[in-house]
Amino acid sequence: MPNIILTRIDNRLIHGQVATQWSGAIGINLILVANDEVASNPMRQGLMDMAAPSYAGTRYWTIEKTINNIHRASDAQKIFIIVDNPQDVLKLVEGGVPIKQLNVGNMHMSEGKRQVATSVAIDDADAEAFRKLRDLGVEIFIQRTPDIAKEDPEVLFK
């Protein structure tokens, strides 16, 4: 079974908070960005590689490739999966990726979304995906950085 330390939703994917705070706090050595668009965009991958911590490898896989290949990971790989929306997390879980914990870190405000936490805006489709993830046994929490208090995740299901 792959050693998935944490999965995080963050629209920005790999950036300063992920590189300097989360990666060290949770003790990972591999960051896997599961995102269909980024998997085929070498320029975005290069920018994220510059932000990634030097002690962690990076992979940029589609959702499908993640589902099909995550079980081949070595036990020595301490994996931090980063996605940009709850629907992709749901696809991963329904596809057999053993995600036990989901950190909701940053979901930008955009048209049709409502602000439910400090850095989280959702729409009805997001709320439905979060409800399904909860029903599948995924522990969901809202926390921007590891050094601040968690916010109430119940706001994600309404």
Of residues 136, 130, 137, 138, the one with CA closest to residue 154: 130
pLDDT category, 109, cuts 50, 70, 90? very high
Of residues 65, 101, 94, the one with CA closest to residue 80: 101
* Average model confidence (pLDDT) across the chain: 96
pTM score above 0.85: yes
Which tens digit of pLDDT belongs to each residue from 53-63?
999 999 999 99
Which tens digit of pLDDT belongs to each residue from 16-26?
888 889 999 99
Is 71 known to be catalytic?
Answer: no
Over range 131-144, report the average pLDDT. 97
Over range 15-44, report the average pLDDT. 94
* Residue 59 φ/ψ, nearest 5 degrees: -135, 145
Query: How many angstroms separate the CA atoms of 28 and 5, rounded?
Result: 7
158: Cβ contacts below 8 Å, ≥ 6 apart: 116, 127
Which tens digit of pLDDT belongs to each residue from 69-85?
999 999 999 999 999 99
Of residues 4, 5, 62, 54, the one with CA closest to residue 33: 62
Catalytic residue among 3, 11, 15, 127: 15
